[in-house]
């Protein structure tokens, strides 16, 4: 009776496929080098950032003091002001996201290989999206404050610009995943390029794109708070003011307000996204 | 009459269709047979101009179809409706809208972009659906239908184009035997009842014999057979498929469900 894996057979196969055995070894060497590299980078970063355990320990005590001062959260007489400012922050996030999406969709269509197969246009658009995206929302806020002055309008523009880059890239990648068969189906009936887009491509990708917009709206409610701190309107401005004037109870009130709102929006938006990706003809 | 004159298509260094010449009379039911990779799909797609021929011409009513562009090209595509193996419907849209896309070339362009259709167009779409017992499914999303139902939707879409000709590229390759019969019967009815020319790529020789008035055989991109079903002898079939004739004659029955299973799994 023959054994399924005889010793001499294994030895013989191993000899013939030396190369295959070595690949595993070189992969392990790669992993080790990667780990060493990561360690070096980490220690370099610790030194650069002047991370020192003693300072953390000393600081921890101060953090404790702040927390004690924060309890209980109390807005004093400013509750109304803060809620209105929060509304402003949400409007900034919503308007900014919507503006970005509206501007990005047509641009993304031009940057999609399956819709406009012109290499140069695509590469230029993609580079443009990447450059816009490469600049953080906070920087855009500072730039727009310089252009249109302090206030929520600068905030809307900051979110709209930075998301334009992100949406442009995201949308065009989504458009490119569209199945070509329905598009050919429309073309075969004598449809125009616009009709191919409208019936062949958009029904496939709009639900995905709507989900992406909602997701960005979620994260933009957080960004809109941050850019408020540099003066682009909304609740962030009040937050930074109260931190500067050491009104810790007001600070904690604002933080709790923002946390609860963000949580509620996350919840609603994730439900909506689930509903959209489920089933609904467009 | 449709005249195909020395039509050739190359993809890079590969030649998919090589110098095919063929006349198709009005009202004919032509089956195109040949093994996988013979160039059947490419030939059909060139007729609808989904694929641009490398050389050669297609003439219809004295016009050079291969030179058409813009509105004339779209009008040509409208007049020779295409039916695909994978249906090529828009899965997320409902049955009615999918059938209405067959009216795109008839409808006002602006209104069509807003999915607004005239009562007349909707009436036409429903009438087509009813002929295939599909009217009750008009509001259903297409990706919730079975393959056989989807192919019937695709046939309705083709019909409402009010075409002179229907080009069907292996319309039954993803279907089970019962749906196969339903779809082939539908094509036959369209052909006999409305006098619409049908050109149909088929893998199954049995089906080709049963439904077609005329068979065209392709091998390696060339036309190697053109005759009535009766002319398709075992030796011709052997030449077409490069197999033992017995295998060829039996293969179709086994091949249909097998291909369907592959498509369903994919
Ligand atoms: N878009 C394409 N790009 C490159 N080569 C292609 C393309 N379409 C078809 N071909 C090649 O052309 C040849 C003919 O293909 P075609 O699809 O016309 O064959 P077919 O007879 O329809 O085969 P099947 O029965 O498998 O559908 C094949 O060798 C195929 O690889
Ligand atoms: Mg084919």
Q: Tens digit of pLDDT for each residue in A127-168?
A: 999 999 888 888 998 899 888 888 888 989 999 999 999 999
Ligand 1 binding site (Cβ under 6 Å of any ligand atom): B 11, 14, 16, 34, 36-42
pLDDT of A279 above 60: no
**Confidence bin at A278 (pLDDT 50/70/90):** low
Instruction: State the total domains in chain B.
Output: 1
Which residue has a Cα nearest atom 16 of ligand 1? B39
Mean pLDDT score, B83-101:
94
Q: Which atom of ligand 1 is nearest to the CA of B12?
A: 4
- Residues of B in CB contact (< 8 Å) with A are 48, 50, 74-78, 81-82, 84, 86-94, 97, 101-102, 104-105, 109, 112-113, 115, 141, 154, 157-158, 161
Q: Please write the tens of the pLDDT for every residue from B155-197.
A: 999 999 999 999 999 999 888 888 899 889 999 999 999 999 9
**Mutant choice from A109, A178, A188, A195 vs B, greatest count of B C-beta within 10 A:** A188
CB-CB neighbors (< 8 A) of A198 in chain B: 112-113, 115
Contacts of A227 (CB under 8 A, 6+ apart): A92, A137, A138, A141, A155, A158, A159, A234, A236
Stretch among A185-199, A226-240, B93-107, B181-195 having the lowest mean pLDDT: A226-240
> What was the pLDDT predicted at B252?
44
In the block, residue with structure tokens 């930075």 = A162
- What's the CA gap between A168 and A104, in Å, rounded? 5
Contact B77 A182 (CB under 8 A): no
> What was the pLDDT predicted at A23?
66
Contact A188 B92 (CB under 8 A): no
Torsion over CA: A262, A265, A271, A272 (sign): negative
- What's the CA gap between B257 and B266, in Å, rounded? 14
Q: Which residues pair with B55 in a beta bridge?
A: B8
Residues with CB under 5 A from ligand 2 (ion): B 41
pLDDT of A281 above 70: no
In the block, residue with structure tokens 């049963």 = B210
Average pLDDT, chain B: 88
> What was the pLDDT predicted at B256?
42
Q: Please write the tens of the pLDDT for every residue from A91-108.
A: 999 999 999 999 999 999
How many Å from the N-terminal Cα to the C-terminal Cα in chain A? Answer: 66
Taking a C-beta distance cutoff of 8 angstroms, is the pair A221, A163 a contact? Answer: no
Q: What is the CATH number of the domain that holds B32?
A: 3.40.50.300
Contacts of A55 (CB under 8 A, 6+ apart): none
> What was the pLDDT predicted at A48?
81
- What's the CA gap between B99 and B131, in Å, rounded? 13
pLDDT of A240 above 90: no
> What was the pLDDT predicted at A5?
80
CB-CB neighbors (< 8 A) of A187 in chain B: 50, 77
pLDDT of B250 above 80: no
Taking a C-beta distance cutoff of 8 angstroms, is the pair B46, B65 a contact? Answer: no
Which ligand places an atom closest to the C-alpha of A180?
A: 1
Which residue has a Cα nearest atom 2 of ligand 1? B11
Which residue has a Cα nearest atom 14 of ligand 1? B39
> What was the pLDDT predicted at A51?
75
- What's the CA gap between B31 and B21, in Å, rounded? 15
CB-CB neighbors (< 8 A) of A199 in chain B: 90, 93, 97, 101, 104
Mean pLDDT score, B146-156:
92
> What was the pLDDT predicted at A72?
82
Distance from CA of residue A267 to its chain's centroid? 17
Q: Which atom of ligand 1 is nearest to the CA of B40?
A: 21
Q: Which atom of ligand 1 is nearest to the CA of B38?
A: 21
Contact A187 B87 (CB under 8 A): no
- What's the CA gap between B106 and B78, in Å, rounded? 9
Cα angle: A69, vertex A72, A75; to 5 degrees = 95
Mean pLDDT score, B210-223:
92
Which among A182, A188, A199 is the nearest to B77, CB-wise?
A188
- What's the CA gap between B98 and B94, in Å, rounded? 6
Stretch among A231-245, B13-27, B181-195 having the lowest mean pLDDT: A231-245
Which among A184, A195, A282 is the nearest to B92, CB-wise?
A282
pLDDT of A222 above 80: yes
pLDDT of B12 above 70: yes
For residue B50, the chain A residue with the least C-alpha distance is A188
CB-CB neighbors (< 8 A) of B161 in chain A: 189-190
- Joined tokens for residue A216: 């960005």
User: Which H or E run includes B155?
Assistant: helix B147-160
Between residues B110 and A229, which one has the greater pLDDT?
A: B110
Owning domain of residue B67 = 2-265
Contacts of A27 (CB under 8 A, 6+ apart): none
Average pLDDT, chain A: 86
**How much of chain A exceeds pLDDT 90, in percent?**
31
> What was the pLDDT predicted at B255?
42
Other beta carbons within 10 Å of B74: 20
Distance from CA of residue B145 to its chain's centroid? 20
Mean pLDDT score, B141-162:
93
Taking a C-beta distance cutoff of 8 angstroms, is the pair B85, B170 a contact? Answer: yes
Which ligand places an atom closest to the C-alpha of B241?
A: 1
Mutate to test the pocket of ligand 1, among B13, B37, B174, B207 (most ligand atoms within 8 A of CB): B37
pLDDT of B116 above 60: yes
> What was the pLDDT predicted at A18?
77
Contact A190 B50 (CB under 8 A): no
- What's the CA gap between B74 and B89, in Å, rounded? 18
ipTM value, please give it: 0.86
> What was the pLDDT predicted at A66?
77
Distance A187 CA to ligand 2 centre (A): 18
**Torsion (CA) B101, B107, B110, B112 in degrees, nearest 10:** -20
């Amino acid at each position: 009776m023959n054994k399924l894996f005889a010793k001499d057979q294994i030895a013989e196969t191993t000899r013939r496929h030396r190369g295959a055995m070595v690949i595993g070894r070189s992969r392990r060497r790669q992993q080790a080098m990667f780990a060493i590299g990561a360690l070096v980078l980490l220690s370099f970063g610790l030194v650069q950032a002047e991370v020192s355990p003693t300072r953390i320990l000393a600081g921890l005590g101060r953090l404790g003091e702040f927390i004690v001062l924060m309890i209980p959260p109390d807005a004093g007489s400013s509750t109304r002001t803060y809620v209105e400012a929060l509304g402003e922050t949400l409007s900034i996030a919503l308007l900014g996201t919507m503006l970005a999406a509206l501007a990005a969709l047509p641009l993304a269509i031009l940057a999609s290989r399956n819709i406009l197969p012109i290499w140069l246009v695509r590469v230029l658009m993609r580079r443009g999206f990447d450059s816009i995206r490469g600049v953080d929302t906070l920087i855009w806020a500072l730039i727009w404050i310089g252009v249109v002055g302090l206030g929520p309008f600068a905030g809307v523009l900051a979110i709209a610009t930075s998301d334009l880059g992100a949406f442009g890239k995201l949308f065009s990648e989504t458009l490119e995943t569209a199945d070509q068969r329905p598009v050919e189906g429309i073309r075969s009936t004598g449809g125009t390029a616009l009709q191919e887009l409208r019936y062949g491509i958009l029904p496939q990708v709009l639900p995905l794109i709507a989900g992406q917009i909602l997701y960005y709206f979620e994260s933009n409610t957080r960004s809109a708070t941050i850019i408020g701190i540099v003066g682009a309107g909304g609740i962030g401005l009040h937050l930074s003011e109260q931190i500067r004037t050491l009104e810790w109870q007001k600070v904690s009130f604002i933080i709790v307000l923002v946390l609860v709102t963000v949580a509620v929006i996350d919840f609603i938006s994730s439900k909506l996204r689930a509903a959209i990706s489920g089933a609904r003809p467009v | 009459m449709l005249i195909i004159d020395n039509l050739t298509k190359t993809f890079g260094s590969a030649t998919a269709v090589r110098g095919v010449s063929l006349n198709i009379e009005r009202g004919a039911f032509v089956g195109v047979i040949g093994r996988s990779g013979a160039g059947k799909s490419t030939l059909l797609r060139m007729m609808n101009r989904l694929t641009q021929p490398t050389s050669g011409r297609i003439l219809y009513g004295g016009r050079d179809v291969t030179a058409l562009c813009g509105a004339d090209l779209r009008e040509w595509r409208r007049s020779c409706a295409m039916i695909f193996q994978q249906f090529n419907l828009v899965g997320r849209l409902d049955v009615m809208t999918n059938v209405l896309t067959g009216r795109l070339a008839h409808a006002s362009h602006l209104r069509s972009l807003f999915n607004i259709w005239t009562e007349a167009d909707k009436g036409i779409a429903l009438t087509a659906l009813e002929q295939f017992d599909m009217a009750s499914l008009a509001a259903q999303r297409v990706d919730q239908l079975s393959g056989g139902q989807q192919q019937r939707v695709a046939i309705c879409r083709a019909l409402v184009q009010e075409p002179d000709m229907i080009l069907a590229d292996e319309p039954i390759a993803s279907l089970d035997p019962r749906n196969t019969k339903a779809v082939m019967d539908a094509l036959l009815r369209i052909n006999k009842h409305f006098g619409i020319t049908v050109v149909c790529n088929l893998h199954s020789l049995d089906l080709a014999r049963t439904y077609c008035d005329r068979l065209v055989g392709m091998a390696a991109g060339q036309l190697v057979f053109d005759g009535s079903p009766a002319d398709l002898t075992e030796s011709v079939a052997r030449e077409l498929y490069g197999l033992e004739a017995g295998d060829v004659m039996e293969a179709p029955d086994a091949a249909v469900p097998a291909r369907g299973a592959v498509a369903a799994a994919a």
